[in-house]
């Protein structure tokens, strides 16, 4: 896939690619790319809307489904949790559906595991690489995923924090092309702060019987 028009930018070690278009996420398939980040802003008004919602109205689920089934699943999920209707909810559901479709295409995966997690604790607060093929993470509310390049196997320094609504696609340790990488990530430690995060996680599923 040609991404010549996505304006990718590489940090030290060419481990992380940042792009200003969704197509730039295809960079994850480039040699030496450990993670691809789409730097973008949400729709106007979305952040204030979702940050102001009662946490009980935030949708949470763990589903395995085909990418084309995601829109209907999100509608049912929002209705079940009482997510207020309006343009902001429409944007959220359309955005998740579009990310799911694009991620499945990039991964060449017929199914996805979709998680929407409402997080108030220190989930996965240790820097690590996931024992998976690859993963997409997008934090719609709260502090975003933290990441960096490890030095001598220790925690990254400096540590970067993704802004809300900026998706990241990361290789896991099961990625078939074994290349050396120092890229590590974690969920931000938020326990005791009163913060509530809403995090989308997508994993490719190549055989639904293994899901």
pLDDT at site 190? 83
The reported pTM is 0.90
Residue positions counted in the chain: 211
pLDDT at site 13? 42
pLDDT at site 62? 97
Mutual angle of helices 87-107 and 70-81, in 10-degree steps: 140
Average of pLDDT values for 130-150? 94
Positions of E strands within the chain:
9-10, 16-19, 35-38, 61-65, 111-119, 134-141, 146-149, 160-161, 168-171, 183-186, 197-205
7-59 residue pLDDT tens: 444 444 448 999 999 999 999 999 889 999 999 999 999 999 999 999 999 99
69-101 residue pLDDT tens: 999 999 999 999 999 999 999 999 999 999 999
Q: Taking phi first (over 0 means left), then psi (-120 to 50 degrees means alpha), and beta for anything else, what does residue 14 get?
A: left
Contact between residue 6 and residue 19 where contact means Cβ atoms under 8 Å apart:
yes
Here the tokens at position 178 are 């074994």
Q: Reading across the β-sheet that carries 160-161, which strands appear in turn?
A: 160-161, 146-149, 183-186
* Residue-averaged pLDDT of the chain: 89
Q: What is the spatial distance between Cα 105 and Cα 98, in angstroms, rounded to a whole number?
A: 11
- Cα→Cα distances 93→5, 59, 70, 98, 200, Å: 27, 11, 9, 9, 11
Q: What is the spatial distance between Cα 196 and Cα 118, in angstroms, rounded to a whole number?
A: 7
pLDDT at site 23? 94
């Amino acid at each position: 896939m040609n991404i010549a028009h996505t304006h990718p930018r590489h940090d030290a070690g060419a481990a992380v690619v940042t792009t200003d278009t969704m197509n730039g996420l295809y960079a994850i398939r480039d040699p030496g790319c450990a993670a691809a980040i789409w730097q973008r802003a949400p729709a106007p008004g979305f952040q204030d809307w979702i940050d102001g919602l009662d946490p009980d109205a935030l949708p949470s689920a763990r589903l395995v489904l085909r990418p084309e089934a995601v829109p209907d699943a999100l509608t049912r999920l929002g209705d079940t949790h009482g997510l207020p209707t309006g343009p902001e909810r429409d944007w959220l559901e359309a955005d998740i559906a579009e990310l799911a479709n694009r991620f499945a295409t990039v991964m060449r995966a017929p199914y996805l595991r979709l998680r929407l997690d409402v997080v108030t604790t220190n989930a996965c607060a240790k820097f690590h690489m996931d024992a998976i093929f690859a993963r997409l993470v997008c934090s719609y509310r709260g502090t975003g995923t933290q990441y960096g390049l490890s030095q001598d196997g220790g925690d990254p320094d400096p540590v970067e924090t993704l802004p809300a609504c900026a998706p990241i696609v990361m290789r896991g340790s099961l990625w078939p092309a074994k290349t050396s990488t120092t890229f590590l990530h974690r969920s931000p430690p938020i326990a005791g702060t009163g913060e509530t995060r809403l995090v989308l996680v997508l994993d490719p599923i190549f055989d639904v019987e293994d899901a």
